[in-house]
Amino acid sequence: MKLDVLRHLLFILLLLAALDAAWMLRWDVQPAGLLGNSIPTAYVLDRWTGTVYFATHQDMNRLKR
């Protein structure tokens, strides 16, 4: 009985770890090479949808907090 519960908990933890890894692999952040307040300094590619988002210097500072 206890072994089954532990086995199910381990399976759930492994599943959550796999989902977390898949979520992190979804995003590709690349520097754009430009600095400034409104000039994009990086672009973020959503690999699942193919959408590209542009991030400014202020956006990147907000993400670091």
**CA angle at 45 for the pair 16 and 54, rounded to the nearest 5°:** 125
Distance CA 26, CA 57 (A): 22
The SS3 of residue 21 is helix
Percentage, residues of the chain above pLDDT 90: 17
* Cβ–Cβ < 8 Å for 46, 53: yes
pLDDT in tens, 47-61: 888 888 777 767 666
For residue 15, count other CB atoms closer than 10 A to its CB: 10
Task: Quote the pTM value.
Answer: 0.47
Tell me, what's the pLDDT at 64?
Answer: 59
Residue range 11-20: average pLDDT? 90
